[in-house]
């Protein structure tokens, strides 16, 4: 298997393991993240419904002041009316936000219905109040006043099922925040019960008049509830938690304000029913409102604390999910980079080196393109260079050897004295005449030339002059013999011309020309001696009786013999003999 494929398989295996581990760990964190997101949502919804409840409760305070408008109010009507308008805005905003939450639910859903009836009830209460405000305080009947106040209390009551429902959801979604969720609910209830008790005193204090027995009963019951849930608020709240010093302070304010001021004040006023009240309605409301706001403030702090906690958990879970995802992604990128690096640094250089080796083996000595710069790859390239140099040297040597061999071969076939091909070269063509006869190919002819009376030249003029005569005779023969005919020095003072494609007549003409070329001009020897040289020639051609090289040689030799015998300086053809 290829290295690259093996690397890819290894990377895929590692990736599989990484994905497996992530697949094992990630769902847990993902679920935790989803759960914490649901917790955040449930707590935020719960905080909104509590705010809506508080806002609707809080609208009663300024409304009560506006409605009562007694002499000791100490504040101009306009500023109190503006305060009521702000309270209405706050309630509208809170209900609108809540409406946004339940808007997605189907119209017949319980929550939507409860919210709608709250809003309707609140609108009725406001309409009653606005109607009463059209009259002077002295023209407002106690019953109309009481009805308007009761309508506002009723509007807040309409919201209770919605608060219960979001409370249940928050308790279920964020069980680890159950203590805080419950505490916020307790504070919200205290705020409403306290406000409701106060509102029930407005008409008696405004009129002034005794509190009706039925209302006294309701007041006693509400007072009982408040008493009951008072102990659910711890005296000190999580003192180890440094960012909640505020909570502790506000908690102390609530204890001082609501439990030790508002409640005793209500108790006193209820006890004064039937006699004269120590306070009028507006003054009473102004005293009580800050204590009720303290309860709201404490509740908000609790909810903020819970939201911070669940948001922190959600952020932690999201960070874990992102971290695992990023690790997986990073690992994938790392593996890809590793594969690419392996391809660039190892596989590609190896394949290119392989191609270079193949090229060298095929005799291509050019340097092929290379890749990679690691020490190992550089060592491989060095080895390739060594191989190339060795190859170049080997080829150089082989070339020189071939040259030498060609030169030796040339020398072996050349006659050193005359430069003509020698007898050995002739035998390369005719074959070994002493062995199996070799058949003549068509058109072959042979002229044998023997210098006449050469021995006396040697004897009289010396071998140096003899050699010169032989070179001159060879030179004259060469001038007349051209391809496809070839001249040889056959031995001693004897020459041979192997012809191809000549008729006997053409052979004889050539032979006669050669004879004339030798005989017609004297040869000048050193010392300006002039030597008359002649030669005898025997001519033969392949025919029906001359079939082999040996036959041809014998026929030419016999003709030459006769030329000598007949007086020399002549030619004799085998056909004429
Ligand atoms: N200078 C010289 N002489 C050679 C060479 N080769 C052979 N010879 C001489 O050539 C002579 C040949 O003499 P012969 O065979 O008697 O022939 P010839 O004297 O030419 O007489 P005919 O052929 O009968 O005319 C000998 O004396 C050889 O020594 C050579 O390369 N150089």
Q: How far is the CA of 455 from the centre of ligand 1 (A)?
A: 4
- The pLDDT of residue 92: 96
pTM for this one? 0.60
* Ligand 1 close to Cβ of residue 464 (< 6 A): no
Q: Is the pLDDT of residue 373 over 50?
A: yes
User: Which tens digit of pLDDT belongs to each residue from 120-169?
Assistant: 999 999 999 999 988 887 888 899 999 999 999 999 999 999 999 999 99
* Ligand 1 close to Cβ of residue 453 (< 6 A): yes
Higher pLDDT, 489 or 22: 489
User: Which tens digit of pLDDT belongs to each residue from 405-427?
Assistant: 888 888 889 999 999 999 999 88
What is the pairing mode between strands 535-541 and 571-573?
A: parallel
Of 358, 347, 348, 349, the C-alpha closest to 380 is 349
Higher pLDDT, 446 or 369: 446
- The pLDDT of residue 302: 86
Q: How far is the CA of 499 from the centre of ligand 1 (A)?
A: 25
* Ligand 1 close to Cβ of residue 538 (< 6 A): no
Distance CA 29, CA 325 (A): 11
Q: Which two tokens stand for residue 21?
A: 């581990």
* Ligand 1 close to Cβ of residue 142 (< 6 A): no
- The pLDDT of residue 180: 86
- The pLDDT of residue 428: 85
* Ligand 1 close to Cβ of residue 493 (< 6 A): yes
Q: How far is the CA of 174 from the centre of ligand 1 (A)?
A: 135
Q: Which two tokens stand for residue 79?
A: 């500023």
Q: Which ligand 1 atom sits closest to the C-alpha of 455?
A: 19
What is the pairing mode between strands 494-500 and 486-491?
A: antiparallel
Q: How far is the CA of 450 from the centre of ligand 1 (A)?
A: 9
Phi, psi of 418 (to 5 degrees): -105, -20
**Taking all residues of the chain, what is their mean pLDDT, rounded to a whole number?**
89
* Ligand 1 close to Cβ of residue 458 (< 6 A): yes
Task: Determine the residue of 420, 492, 519 to mutate for testing ligand 1's pocket, defined as the one with the most ligand atoms within 8 A of the Cβ atom.
Answer: 492
Q: Is the pLDDT of residue 435 over 80?
A: no
The continuous run of DSSP H or E covering 572 comes out as strand 571-573
Q: Is the pLDDT of residue 352 over 80?
A: yes
* Ligand 1 close to Cβ of residue 452 (< 6 A): yes
Task: Output the residue whose Cα is nearest ligand 1's atom 9.
Answer: 455
Distance CA 132, CA 151 (A): 13
* Ligand 1 close to Cβ of residue 492 (< 6 A): yes
Task: Output the residue whose Cα is nearest ligand 1's atom 5.
Answer: 492
* Ligand 1 close to Cβ of residue 166 (< 6 A): no
- What Rg do the C-alpha atoms of the chain give, in angstroms? 67
Task: Determine the residue of 468, 493, 566 to mutate for testing ligand 1's pocket, defined as the one with the most ligand atoms within 8 A of the Cβ atom.
Answer: 493
Task: Output the residue whose Cα is nearest ligand 1's atom 24.
Answer: 453
* Ligand 1 close to Cβ of residue 239 (< 6 A): no
Q: Which two tokens stand for residue 452?
A: 């006449």
Q: Which ligand 1 atom sits closest to the C-alpha of 462?
A: 1
Task: Output the residue whose Cα is nearest ligand 1's atom 13.
Answer: 455
What does DSSP assign to residue 421?
B
Cβ proximity of 390 and 357 under 8 Å: no
Sign of CA dihedral 425, 426, 429, 433: negative
Higher pLDDT, 244 or 40: 40
Q: Which residues pair with 494 in a beta bridge?
A: 450, 491
Task: Band the pLDDT of 310: cuts 50, 70, 90.
Answer: confident
Q: Which residue has the tokens 């936000």?
A: 97
Q: How far is the CA of 416 from the centre of ligand 1 (A)?
A: 17
Average pLDDT of the segment spanning 196-217? 94
- The full DSSP string for 120-140 is HHHHHHHHHHHHHHTS-GGGS
Q: Which ligand 1 atom sits closest to the C-alpha of 450?
A: 23
> ipTM for the complex?
0.97
Task: Output the residue whose Cα is nearest ligand 1's atom 31.
Answer: 492
Secondary structure class of 493 (helix, strand, coil): coil
Task: Output the residue whose Cα is nearest ligand 1's atom 18.
Answer: 453
Q: How far is the CA of 453 from the centre of ligand 1 (A)?
A: 7
Return the axis-axis angle of helices 3-68 and 281-342, rounded to nearest 10°.
170
User: Which tens digit of pLDDT belongs to each residue from 225-274?
Assistant: 999 998 888 766 654 455 556 788 888 999 999 999 999 999 999 999 98
Task: Determine the residue of 454, 465, 557, 560 to mutate for testing ligand 1's pocket, defined as the one with the most ligand atoms within 8 A of the Cβ atom.
Answer: 454
Average pLDDT of the segment spanning 444-458? 96
Task: Output the residue whose Cα is nearest ligand 1's atom 27.
Answer: 455
Q: Please give the domain boundaries of the chain with CATH numbers for all domains.
A: 3-328 (no CATH), 423-573 (3.30.70.270)
- The pLDDT of residue 71: 46
Phi, psi of 191 (to 5 degrees): -60, -40
- The pLDDT of residue 239: 47
Phi, psi of 127 (to 5 degrees): -60, -40
Task: Output the residue whose Cα is nearest ligand 1's atom 22.
Answer: 453
Task: Band the pLDDT of 433: cuts 50, 70, 90.
Answer: confident
Q: How far is the CA of 509 from the centre of ligand 1 (A)?
A: 26
Q: Which two tokens stand for residue 82?
A: 């503006």
Q: How far is the CA of 495 from the centre of ligand 1 (A)?
A: 12
Q: Is the pLDDT of residue 216 over 70?
A: yes
* Ligand 1 close to Cβ of residue 455 (< 6 A): yes
H/E/C letters for each residue in 539-551? EEECCCCCCEHHH
Q: Which two tokens stand for residue 290?
A: 């800050």
């Amino acid at each position: 298997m290829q290295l690259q494929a093996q690397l890819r398989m290894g990377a895929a295996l590692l990736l599989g393991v990484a994905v497996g581990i992530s697949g094992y760990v990630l769902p847990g964190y993902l679920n935790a993240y989803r759960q914490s997101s649901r917790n955040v949502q449930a707590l935020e919804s719960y905080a909104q419904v509590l705010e809506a409840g508080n806002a609707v409760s809080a609208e009663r305070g300024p409304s009560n002041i506006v409605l009562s408008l007694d002499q000791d109010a100490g504040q101009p009507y306009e500023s109190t009316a503006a305060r009521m308008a702000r309270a209405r805005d706050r309630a509208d905003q809170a209900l609108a936000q809540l409406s946004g939450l339940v808007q997605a639910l189907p119209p017949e859903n319980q929550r939507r219905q409860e919210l709608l009836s709250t809003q309707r009830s609140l609108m009725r209460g406001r309409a009653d109040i606005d109607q009463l405000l059209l009259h002077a305080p002295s023209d407002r009947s106690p019953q109309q006043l009481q009805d308007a106040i009761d309508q506002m209390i009723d509007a807040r009551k309409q919201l209770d099922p919605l608060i219960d429902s979001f409370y249940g959801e928050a308790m279920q979604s964020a069980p680890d925040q159950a203590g805080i969720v419950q505490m916020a609910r307790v504070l919200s209830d205290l705020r409403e019960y306290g406000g409701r008790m106060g509102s029930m005193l407005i008409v008696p204090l405004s009129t002034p008049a005794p509190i009706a027995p039925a209302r006294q009963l309701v007041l006693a019951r509400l007072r009982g509830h408040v008493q009951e849930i008072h102990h659910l608020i711890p005296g000190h709240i999580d003192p180890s938690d440094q960012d909640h010093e505020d909570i502790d302070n506000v908690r102390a304010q609530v204890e001082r304000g609501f439990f030790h001021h508002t409640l005793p004040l209500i108790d006193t006023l209820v006890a004064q029913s039937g006699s004269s009240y120590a306070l009028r309605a507006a003054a009473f409301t102004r005293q009580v409102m800050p204590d009720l706001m303290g309860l709201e403030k404490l509740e908000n702090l609790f909810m903020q604390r819970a939201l911070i906690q669940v948001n922190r958990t959600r952020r932690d879970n999201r960070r874990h999910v992102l971290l695992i995802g990023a690790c997986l992604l990073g690992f994938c990128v790392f593996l890809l980079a590793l594969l690419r690096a392996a391809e660039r640094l190892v596989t590609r250089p190896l394949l290119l080196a392989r191609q270079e080796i193949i090229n060298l083996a095929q005799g291509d000595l050019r340097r092929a393109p290379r890749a990679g710069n690691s020490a190992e790859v550089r060592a491989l390239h060095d080895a390739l260079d060594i191989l190339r140099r060795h190859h170049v040297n080997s080829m150089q040597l082989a070339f020189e050897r071939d040259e030498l061999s060609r030169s030796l071969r040339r020398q072996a076939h050349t006659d050193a004295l005359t430069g003509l091909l020698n007898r050995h070269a002739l035998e390369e063509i005719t074959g070994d005449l002493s062995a199996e006869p070799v058949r003549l190919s068509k058109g072959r002819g042979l002229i044998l030339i023997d210098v006449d009376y050469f021995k006396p030249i040697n004897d009289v003029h010396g071998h140096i002059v003899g050699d010169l005569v032989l070179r001159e005779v060879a030179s004259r023969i060469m001038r007349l013999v051209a391809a496809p005919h070839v001249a040889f020095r056959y031995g001693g003072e004897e020459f041979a011309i192997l012809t191809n494609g000549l008729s006997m007549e053409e052979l004889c003409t050539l032979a006669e020309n050669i004879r004339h070329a030798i005989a017609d001009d004297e040869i000048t020897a050193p010392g300006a001696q002039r030597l008359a040289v002649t030669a005898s020639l025997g001519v033969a051609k392949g025919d029906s009786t001359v079939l082999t090289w040996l036959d041809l040689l014998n026929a030419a030799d016999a003709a030459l013999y006769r030329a000598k015998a007949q007086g020399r300086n002549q030619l004799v053809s085998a056909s004429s003999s």
